[in-house]
A and B are shown apart, each in its own frame.
Chain A
Amino acid sequence: MSERTLPSINLSLCTRCNLCVSQCPELALIMANDGPTFVDLITCSYCGVCEELCPTGAIRAPSSVNWSVS
């Protein structure tokens, strides 16, 4: 997965509850006119908190699962 990948937000499922914006530990989300938006590609650490908290499942942050190579 690209270093610059962001979680995806399905705005048709989003209720604008603001939970993702208020709880993001990196302050990587803002509430724009059409819904939550990532401020840039760098700030988001892809921690998955927004995906975890979204009450409608509008945010997806898929991860592959692998063993450490070291």
Chain B
Amino acid sequence: METDHINQLPIFAGLAQETRLDLARRSYIRALPAGHTLLLEGMPAESAYVLISGEARAFRMNREGRVQILARFKPGDPINIISLLNSDKRNRATIEALSPVTVLVIRSADFDALIARYPDFSNILLHHLADRLAKITDLAAGLSLFAVRARLARFLIELADLSPSSSGWTQDEIAAHIGTVRDVVGRLLRDFEAGGLIQRQRGQIILLDREKLIQAARE
């Protein structure tokens, strides 16, 4: 049994060979185009995924079409773990591919069997859940405790501190991440530019002053 696709995922680096072999037996790879909806919020949770290549996002949408991004996934990230572990086994969010993606798919029954048999597999998921819980806690705190201006400053700092992303960010996408709407993002970006915190060039938002941005993120 080939385990190459398992071995290339850092999240599984700590797995014993026996676990890897069974995981390889119980999983398969799918390639999906950009824009493909992997999962729909509220539908039965049928599979867990691990992103092998590409980018994807998790979001919820209200009846007016307003979107809140809950997570953005990069290669190596597990997807839909919480939904499979939850008692109602429903997808907690919609997952959309932002680029062509390749995913490792683990069906629900196989996922349950792996958890039951391999403590090293469960341990990896436990660390992942702790990480997700920390991020969701930060998101909830940001949305409830900080003004939109502070959330935007924080988000720009986080983006710039990450390794360069292949995709650019529209005002709509930024708004969906920080819990606001596009025109507010546009106004605040102009405000930041007038204050010397950022500079906007064609297709680039350049952060000029880390101290001022950190200050804005705390207000």
Chain A interface (Cβ < 8 Å from any Cβ of B): 1-3, 5, 45-49, 51-53, 57, 60-68
B residues bordering A, Cβ < 8 Å? Answer: 156, 159-161, 164-165, 167-173, 182-183, 185-187, 189, 199-208, 210
Minimum CB distance partner of A3 in chain B: B202
CB atoms of B208 and A46 under 8 A apart: no
Question: Given A63-B168, A64-B203, does the pair A51, B160 have CB atoms closer than 8 Å?
Answer: no
Q: What 7 pairs between A and B have smallest CB-CB spacing?
A: A52-B186, A62-B168, A1-B203, A65-B159, A46-B202, A65-B205, A63-B205
Q: Name B167's closest neighbour in chain A (CB-CB).
A: A62
Q: How far is the CB of A52 from chain B (nearest CB, A)?
A: 3
Contact B171 A52 (CB under 8 A): yes
The A-B contact count (CB < 8 A) is: 81
Partner of A64, one of B173, B204, B210: B204
The answer to whether B186 touches A48, judged by C-beta atoms less than 8 angstroms apart, is yes
Among B161, B172, B182, B200, point to the contact of A63 (Cβ < 8 A): B200
List the B side residues contacting A46 at CB < 8 Å.
Answer: 200-203
For A1, give the chain B residue with the smallest CB separation.
B203
State whether B207 touches A47 (Cβ < 8 A): no
Cβ–Cβ contact A1 & B204, under 8 A = yes
